[in-house]
Amino acid sequence: GQQVMQIPQYQHVQEGEDFTTYCNSSTTLSNIQWYKQRPGGHPVFLIQLVKSGEVKKQKRLTFQFGEAKKNSSLHITATQTTDVGTYFCAGPQGAQKLVFGQGTRLTINP
Amino acid sequence: DAGVIQSPRHEVTEMGQEVTLRCKPISGHDYLFWYRQTMMRGLELLIYFNNNVPIDDSGMPEDRFSAKMPNASFSTLKIQPSEPRDSAVYFCASSFLGNQPQHFGDGTRLSIL
């Protein structure tokens, strides 16, 4: 079945360093969604990308959807301690559900 | 606007006991999802409903697990009998459409002793 793979699984950075997580799908996606889960919290929807090659920004976060609509990335510039958490990408499987990646857990050394 | 509401937030019980987790989705959302999250297996989709009808329960691990959605504003996930390996965080999520952004509840942290 459809798989959504994320790398890396873990990333530890110094505060102020940049961070990037990558998401790859085995099939073409109609959209890609990104979620953030703080430690002890629940996944929270961040953004949805729909168009091929689309780039969206939210303050220090930049989201990109690949030209082939099979991969995506999330880049955080100058990380802050508030960025700590696990970042998930998710892609639709058919019209009725999402397939989530394994997530990238980001820890930050202040 | 209230989000997805789950109860209880925490549950600790002994193996063999019946466990019932509850979820109230966001009003107007036609899809409801039950997930289980563990360190080892990540976020697993157990079952989902569309307009109160179970669509896919292939993620339900065993017959000990069952889920119902008697109406648009309430769903339950039941484990009977519970086992220590069922210990996990169980999330309920809802969405307007199945492949659109999902809103998660705070989760139920379940510990089976």
Contacts 24+ apart (CB under 8 A), B38-41: B38/B87, B38/B88, B38/B89
pLDDT in tens, B11-42: 999 999 999 999 999 999 999 999 999 998 89
B33–A43 C-beta distance less than 8 A:
no
pLDDT in tens, A9-24: 999 999 999 999 999 9
pLDDT in tens, B49-70: 999 999 999 999 889 999 999 9
Q: Can you give the pLDDT at residue A104?
A: 97
Measure A45 CA to nearest chain B CA, in Å: 7
pLDDT band at A97 (very low <50, low <70, confident <90, very high): very high
B104 Cα distance to chain centroid:
10
B45–A97 C-beta distance less than 8 A:
yes
Average pLDDT, chain B: 96
Name the residue among A30, A33, A41 with its Cβ closest to that of B101: A33
For the cut 70, the answer to whether the pLDDT of residue B1 exceeds it is no
Give the residue from B102, B78, B87 showing the smallest Cα distance to A46. B102
Three-state secondary structure call for residue B70: strand
Q: Residues A67, A68, A71, CA angle at the centre, nearest 5°?
A: 90
Q: Which residues of B touch A (CB under 8 A)?
A: 31, 33, 42-43, 45, 48, 50, 55-56, 91, 93, 97-107
B40 Cα distance to chain centroid:
18
